[in-house]
């Protein structure tokens, strides 16, 4: 039984014969290995073309900005998975990446879609009017404005500020960064809160202005965080804290369900 459309029966990413491997039209051994860096190769794989120096700078900057994030849930899940299955590094990495959602990691994609919508609407009206319209729709649907606000960085997110500086230094700052700033300026009026742009708002603004595809945005924090997870997992093998995290969680969470008469919880 056929499921889904069947018209596509080819791929433009890779092919090979006994002598040559072709990736996006380029000879892997003759043109790429030892000649281009990994960020260039990522851009080539995703877009089909090698990046300009400005595009490379944008991708490098965003990868560096988001690779490490401390003991967030994805890192804890990854380290505790390795503690339980020390032979399965790949499983521990996967456990961390599977937590990519609307709150952690996936928020850059949501912010990118939001900014892209503002820019699209602004083809017929001003950016200010477009931003007001899109924010109003999000508010009416009780949706958070993605890419703004941070529990620690209240006044400004230093990572967001630096990413936009990098775009300006390399001449790629354009409509998405402009839209991100317009939104940031309007949010106190429209929401009653001072919500600074966070790193997940700056990442799509910088990448979209550099020509990176919207549909692949989530891949950037996933790729970056994979490197961070590997660092945590190497440390977990050398200086394990997975069971410390597990024990701390058990102590931090009280039981408030039913229990037999006279039952007393074990004190840790």
DSSP-assigned letters across all residues of the chain? ---S-------SSEEE-SS-EEETTEEIIIIITTTS-HHHHHHHHHHSSPPPHHHHHHHHHHHHHHS--SS-HHHHHHHHHHHH-TT-HHHHHHHHHTT-BTTTBTHHHHHHHHHHHHHHHTTTS-HHHHHHHHHHHHHHTT---TTB--SS-SS--HHHHHHHHHHHHTT---HHHHHHHHHHHHHHHHHSS---B-HHHHHHHHHHHHT--GGGTTHHHHHHHHHHHHHHHHHHHHS--HHHHHHHHHHHS---S---TT--PPP-
In this predicted model, what pLDDT tens digit does every residue of 218-268 receive, in sequence order? 999 999 999 999 999 999 999 999 999 988 888 888 888 999 998 987 765
| Mean pLDDT, residues 50-76 taken together | 95
In this predicted model, what pLDDT tens digit does every residue of 215-227 receive, in sequence order? 999 999 999 999 9
Q: What is the CATH code of the structural domain delimited by 52-242? A: 1.10.230.10
The pLDDT value given to residue 199: 94
The pLDDT value given to residue 43: 98
**Is residue 137 scored above 60 in pLDDT?**
yes
Count of CB atoms situated within 10 Å of the CB of 211: 16
Which tokens go with 100? 């990519």
Residue located via tokens 């919880």? 265
Across the chain, what does the average pLDDT equal? 93
In this predicted model, what pLDDT tens digit does every residue of 110-126 receive, in sequence order? 999 999 999 999 998 99
Whole-structure pTM value: 0.92
Domain extent listing, the chain: 11-50, 52-242
The pLDDT value given to residue 218: 94
The pLDDT value given to residue 2: 76
Q: How many residues does the chain have?
A: 268
Q: Pairing relation of β-strands 14-16 and 26-27?
A: unpaired
Q: What are phi and psi of 221, to 5 degrees?
A: -65, -30
Query: Rounded to a whole number, what is the largest CA-CA distance in the chain?
Result: 76
229, 96 contact by CB (below 8 A): yes
**Is residue 212 scored above 90 in pLDDT?**
yes
CA 207, CA 177: separation in Å to the nearest integer? 9
232, 76 contact by CB (below 8 A): no
């Amino acid at each position: 039984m056929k499921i889904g459309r069947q018209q596509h029966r080819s791929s433009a990413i890779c092919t090979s014969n006994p002598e040559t491997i072709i990736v996006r039209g380029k000879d892997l051994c003759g043109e790429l290995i030892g000649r281009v860096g990994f960020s260039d190769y990522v851009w080539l794989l995703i877009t089909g073309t090698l990046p300009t120096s400005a595009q490379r700078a944008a991708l490098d900057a965003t990868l560096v900005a988001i690779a490490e994030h401390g003991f967030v849930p994805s890192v804890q899940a990854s380290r505790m998975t390795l503690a339980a299955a020390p032979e399965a590094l790949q499983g521990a990495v996967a456990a961390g990446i599977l937590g990519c959602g609307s709150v952690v990691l996936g928020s850059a994609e949501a912010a990118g879609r939001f900014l892209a919508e503002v820019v699209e609407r602004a083809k017929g009206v001003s950016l200010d009017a477009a931003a007001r319209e899109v924010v109003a729709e999000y508010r009416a649907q009780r949706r958070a404005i993605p890419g703004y606000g941070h529990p620690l960085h209240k006044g400004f997110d230093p990572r967001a500020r630096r990413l936009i500086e990098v775009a300006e230094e390399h001449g790629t700052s354009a409509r998405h960064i402009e839209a991100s700033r317009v939104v940031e300026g309007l949010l106190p009026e429209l929401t009653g809160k001072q919500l600074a742009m966070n790193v997940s708002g700056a990442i799509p603004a910088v990448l979209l202005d550099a020509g990176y595809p919207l549909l692949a945005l989530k891949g950037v924090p996933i790729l970056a965080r994979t490197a961070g997870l590997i660092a945590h997992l190497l440390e977990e093998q050398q200086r394990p804290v997975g069971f410390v995290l597990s024990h701390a969680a058990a102590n931090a969470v009280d039981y408030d369900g039913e229990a037999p008469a006279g039952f007393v919880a074990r004190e840790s």
